[in-house]
Amino acid sequence: MSIINIFWFRRDLRLHDNAGLYHALKSGYPILPIFIFDDQILNKLSNRHDARVSFIYKTILELKAQIQLAGSDLEVFYGTPHKIWLDIISKYKINAVYFNHDYESYALKRDSNVKLLLENNSINCFTYKDHVIFEKEEVIKDDGRPYTVFTPYKKKWLANLTKSSPITKSYYLKSYPSAALIHKFLSFNSKNKVPTLLEMGFIKSELSFPSIEINQSVIKSYDQNRDFPSISGTSKLGIHFRFGTISIRQKALKASYLNETYLSELIWRDFYAMILFHFPHIEHSSFRPEYDQIEWRNDENEFSCWCEGNTGYPIVDAGMRELKATGFMHNRVRMITASFLTKHLLIDWRWGEQWFANHLLDFDLASNNGGWQWAAGCGTDAAQYFRIFSPAAQTEKFDKNQTYIKKWVPSYGTDKYPKPIVEHTTARERCLITYKNGLNRGK
């Protein structure tokens, strides 16, 4: 049995510009590529039609076909990673395992256990940054502490990027030509069948997925169009960033000369990933602990109205219905719906965060958490608690002709459309009192 190295695909489902894969293919040993459908993650998903599982499944089959064209194959497993790695170690003579970093709590624990298992079996383990431009402690204050406000973080981020060369020639944006090295995969044909969606407890979703190809004009005019939900002013590439079907380095490089505002959005991804790394408590509690003293109303009937898009506030309802129908919600409307839930209805931001986590195709823990805590006023760079979006004002500013609303709420303006479940001025006053009392208790 010949000695091999292994590359483990995870949130990097592509052959091009893949950091860990590039280093693996340059290692000098034949590379066995693998992917694991992690039952510890899949078992927590309540929707058998979860579109993200269908997206991953479709992508894995495409990736497998690409690797087969190179005379190799992709081994696909379903189960608990620790058990699967035990089986792999028993079957192969392995010199080293390569994979890219993940930053979520479960992934960190899983990867730590796998590394220990490999170490105990005298197998080297090499891991790389691939999901972000800067990670962990790469962008910090001069005193070594992490940033908690975006603007100075962005300034330092850009300074680090261009420290020794212009942004377009930055070391951090250089690509890894992994696709040029796929001939170094192990030559073999897998005898293992790819588990079916049904065998894993899922049914193919009928939702369509955003294209990986977008017109550059969308990025060029991003700063002008991004806030208007009735037009195609955003890239909708979130799902591709989430599962690594596109390279963050390539997109950041393009954004650097196409649109500064779009580049800022990519920097926000790094910022929230950094926050999650330094402040892991945010996964379950407020970034600002004093906000955990707020007494949420948590009315289940009102939460249901919000989830189903029946609040009587058309811009809110349009967003919630768009989410349920497509797995996507426009970024501006995400802020409006989140603000409405936490401030008009005084429902715990964690309820809304979980609903988005269950339905967004582009769900990313760090960014989703950051966005919800911003809306609730308890996070970094948060909207102050006394800043309460008026749905009517937001509609007037960003959907004046109600084009977006009419698309998703056709009953609006008829007797079939529900009355508002709360009055704006009353809700605003109630929110201010509740937040003020909670923050006073938290002192």
Note down the domain range covering 167: 132-175+213-278
Domain end call among 130, 156, 187: 130
Average pLDDT over residues 404-417: 97
Residues 37 and 101 in one domain: yes
The string of DSSP letters for 56-109 reads HHHHHHHHHHHHHHTT---EEEEE-HHHHHHHHHHHSEEEEEEEE---SHHHHH
Tell me what pLDDT residue 62 has: 98
Q: Which long-range contacts (CB under 8 A, 24 or more apart) does 321-328 make?
A: 321/408, 321/409, 322/408, 323/356, 323/359, 323/360, 324/359, 325/408, 326/207, 326/208, 326/361, 327/51, 327/52, 327/207, 327/359, 327/360, 327/361, 328/210, 328/236, 328/238, 328/360, 328/361, 328/362
Residues 159 and 38 in one domain: no
Tell me what pLDDT residue 386 has: 79
106 belongs to a structural domain: yes
User: Are the C-beta atoms of residues 102 and 11 closer than 8 Å to each other?
Assistant: yes
Q: State which H helix or E strand residue 126 sits in.
A: strand 124-128
36 belongs to a structural domain: yes
Tell me what pLDDT residue 119 has: 97
| pLDDT tens digits for range 118-166 | 999 999 999 999 999 999 999 999 999 999 999 999 999 999 999 989 9
Residue 7 bridge partners (DSSP): 33, 98
404 belongs to a structural domain: yes
Quote the mean pLDDT of the chain.
96
Residues 287 and 436 in one domain: yes
Residues 345 and 252 in one domain: no
Residues 371 and 387 in one domain: yes
pTM for the whole structure: 0.95
For residue 240, give the amino acid letter: H
| pLDDT tens digits for range 279-299 | 999 999 999 999 999 999 999
Q: How many domains does the chain have?
A: 3
| pLDDT tens digits for range 67-116 | 999 999 999 999 999 999 999 999 999 999 999 999 999 999 999 999 99
| pLDDT tens digits for range 322-378 | 999 999 999 999 999 999 999 999 999 999 999 999 999 999 999 999 999 999 999
Residues 37 and 125 in one domain: yes
